[in-house]
A and B are shown apart, each in its own frame.
Chain A
Amino acid sequence: MNIIHFDIIDSTNTYLKNNYNSLDDYTFVSASLQTHGRGRNNRIWNSNQNENLLFSLLLKNKECIDMYKSISIITAYSIIEVLKDYQINNLYLKWPNDVYVGDKKICGILLESVSKNDIECLIVGVGLNVNQSNFEGEYIIDPTSMKKIINIDIDIDLLKKRIYERILFNIDKILKGHDFYKDFIKYDYLKDREVYMELNNQKKKVKVIGINPNYSLRILIDEEYTDVEAGEVSFHV
């Protein structure tokens, strides 16, 4: 295992983007505090120091790069599996990149890549709320944490090791041909919900059918079935 830990860093994803050339495949970088933690579309990811698990995983091999469409969901599914081991239930995967407990967000995933004429590497960034009890400020989705749910302090180093191993285990399984579709669709948060879809600054009410086997999302909009892949689309319940 190649695990690097920083007490303070701007962003573990940024560190891997700047250093991927000299680091080994499957390098795992964690931090006690990120000063510029990010979510999708440069949204800020706030986290108290030493209270949460903030990490990024570097994937450089071609097999992983070729399956980039599945990486966010496999990572989210791996985290759900580990959270279940901690007796946390009511877990959902909110397409494309969040883990919920009930209607509250416990984990966000940011998948990035660096390309020249081809993709050179994938970087999977994860922020998992672990021991943080108070979340100040305003959130689009109410946050929660492992401690708020099971009311005990979690050993973050042990949790980190378990999640790293589970992600690698599941990546290995998918590389060997395992189909996770039937595993993760039971956690599909948006399935059968009527939600507001935001596209190009326009809001529209749509019915979500569910996640497709190719990891896109099927929706019913204006009585037509459409598969959504574009990153500019966001959903609000």
Chain B
Amino acid sequence: MSRRARTDARAIGLALCVWLAGLLLASPPAGSTPDEYQVKAAFLLNFARLVEWPQKAMAADRPIVVSVLGSQEVRDSIAAGIGDAVIGEHPVEVQRIDSASEIGGSHILFVTRERAQEPAEIFRTARRHAALVVGESEGFAESGGTINFFTEDRKLRFEINPDAAKASGLKISSRLLRLAVLVGEER
């Protein structure tokens, strides 16, 4: 096409850039809402306080290990949210894992929505290691997860599958159960 059309294209492009720069400068400062995963980390701390692990899985003065099956970003965010919290006499450690085979030694396993496609093997391994499996995907608790986050009016809520907790040998306090939406396992 002609030179003219090209000049026009650049002019339109430039005008739009200026308009957008204006929009950007006029936009309110971002970052007013907290990071989703830092809030979820705070929930995880509360879960850890209100769940009782079997004796063999929780040695005295050993740390509580939170494993994140997901990206490094989510791990970092959760680690930032947990900070250097201590539960009872247990410090809390956050690590990232890449597959179900690395679950051993974890007390809480957080499965991000990107990694929730193939949960069957995760649930099996987690039950063997008495890990509390927490997800954030629709149907996660029904298909065998113990706790699952969902949002309602932009606020975080969670559901609990008591059968899954029992199968893992975990005791969940009545206070936690009261705040949760209880779901059953669908077979």
Do A and B truly interact?
A: no
Residues on B close to A: CB < 8 A? none
Residues on A close to B: CB < 8 A? none
